[in-house]
Amino acid sequence: MSLIVQKFGGTSVGDVDRIRAVADHVARTRRQGHQVALVVSAMGKETDELLHLAETVSKTRPGREMDMLITAGERKAAALVTMALADLGVPGLSLTGSQAGFITDTTHRNAKILEIRTARIQEALDAGRVPVVGGSQGMSTESGDVTFLGRGGSDTTAVALAAVLKADVCELYTDVTGMYTADPAVVHNARRLLRLSFDELLEMTATGCPKPAMRAVEVARNNRVKLHVRSAFTWEPGTWVYEEDETMEQAIISAVTHDTSEAKVTVTRVPDRPGIAARLFRALADNDVNVDMIVQNVSMDGTTDISFTVPKESVARALEVSGSSDIGAGEVTADETVARVSLVGAGMKSNPGVAATMFETLARAGVNLEMISTSAIRISCVVRAAQVEEAVQLLHDAFELGAA
């Protein structure tokens, strides 16, 4: 008998029929002889609706109160799923994050899990019940307050729970059927990946792949939790993610990802003195601007140009911070018509020609590379936004990632 943690996202419990379908699937999993623990998100767009309600009611919106408000969503979903299970004769037990023993810090709206006290969940499992845990929530024992782990936090709840329960697998049910060699909406012959390493999945989520939440993948990697990313609409097997096995034959490239959510900021004529770049990026960090790629040009006449990418919603703040007198820069500009295309693959490490092939492929098509950054298993290029879908298709073809 294996223990499976199943997480169902908002779309998967979005209405009454979906909730019943989830209950059916859980009942079937139990009939196959498995123990099941569930984690559920809030139904459909409920979290967005609660956020909107709060914005309409209040300008200040204290974090503690926001968390109290938002966590109502997963609580409702957990109770409804448990009721649907009861109709099928499956004894369940809905649990808030607090009841499920998720102890967090007090960082409201973005709390970190410190500890999971599993006594109540373990007791339910031992009694043959299905614990149904509200995702993305916990409580701070320091303040006694309810906390919210942030958007996408249900993935983290599920993976962390699978880690402490030593579950055999953590199944992340979502509205996609798994991870693909490229976005199927862009590349017609994109292929579902049967298997990925944690590092590959991390690079993919970091470079534009929307699911699962990157934070959850990090927890999975650090705790070696085997993931199965799959669909709650088709129930077909999806993509498995587990510890890289060096003896396995490794595809050189696993996927081409792209991301159009960032803008490029360029700061010209920065004094090329030690500590200036540090001062710039410290100032950006202090202002909650999340910098991603950074490229610094070769120094000319004692000054240098620095380009970096930030989420589009942070552009205004990035311009303000970068242009402040502390930095002493010349001009600061932003360009929102850029996009990033990335190649991800664990096999890249031992195949030095990958970058060259990538650059040649894009050059032949007249795609100009404005920024480049690399890791051991990823190469990312910033290109014109208008050219990014073409670039994805070209690279997908060049590395023969498509379905046969």
Q: Which residues bind its own copies (CB under 8 A)?
A: 16, 19-20, 50, 53-54, 56-62, 64-66, 68-69, 71-73, 75-76, 78-80, 82-84, 86-87, 92-94, 96, 99, 120, 144, 146
Shortest Å, Cβ 56 to its own copies:
5
| Helix, strand, coil percentages in the chain from 3-state DSSP, rounded to 5 | 35, 25, 40
- Judged by beta carbon, residue 130 or residue 255, the one nearer its own copies is 130
DSSP 346: G
- Judged by beta carbon, residue 73 or residue 153, the one nearer its own copies is 73
Q: Which residue has the tokens 């890289």?
A: 244
- Judged by beta carbon, residue 68 or residue 294, the one nearer its own copies is 68
CA angle 234, 160, 81 (to 5 degrees): 45
- Judged by beta carbon, residue 80 or residue 253, the one nearer its own copies is 80
Shortest Å, Cβ 89 to its own copies:
9
Shortest Å, Cβ 118 to its own copies:
14
Shortest Å, Cβ 120 to its own copies:
7
- Judged by beta carbon, residue 129 or residue 230, the one nearer its own copies is 129
343 touches 253 (CB < 8 A): yes
Distance CA(328)–CA(227), nearest Å, equals 48
Phi, psi dihedrals of residue 192, rounded to the nearest 5°:
-70, 140
Q: In what order do the strands lie in the sheet with 371-375?
A: 255-259, 338-344, 378-384, 371-375
Shortest Å, Cβ 107 to its own copies:
17
- Judged by beta carbon, residue 62 or residue 128, the one nearer its own copies is 62
Shortest Å, Cβ 175 to its own copies:
20
- Judged by beta carbon, residue 120 or residue 226, the one nearer its own copies is 120
State how far Cα 106 lies from the chain centre: 22
C-alpha pair distances (Å), 57 with each of 17, 52, 60, 148, 264: 32, 9, 9, 20, 35
Shortest Å, Cβ 148 to its own copies:
11
- Judged by beta carbon, residue 46 or residue 155, the one nearer its own copies is 46
169 touches 6 (CB < 8 A): no
Burial class (CB within 10 angstroms; exposed 0-12, middle 13-18, buried 19+) of 85: buried
- Judged by beta carbon, residue 6 or residue 71, the one nearer its own copies is 71
Question: For residue 334, what are the contacts with CB-CB under 8 A and spacing of at least 6?
Answer: 263, 264, 265, 266, 315, 318, 319
Distance CA(366)–CA(384), nearest Å, equals 11
Shortest Å, Cβ 132 to its own copies:
9
C-alpha pair distances (Å), 348 with each of 113, 176, 231, 343, 371: 34, 26, 29, 9, 20
Shortest Å, Cβ 98 to its own copies:
9
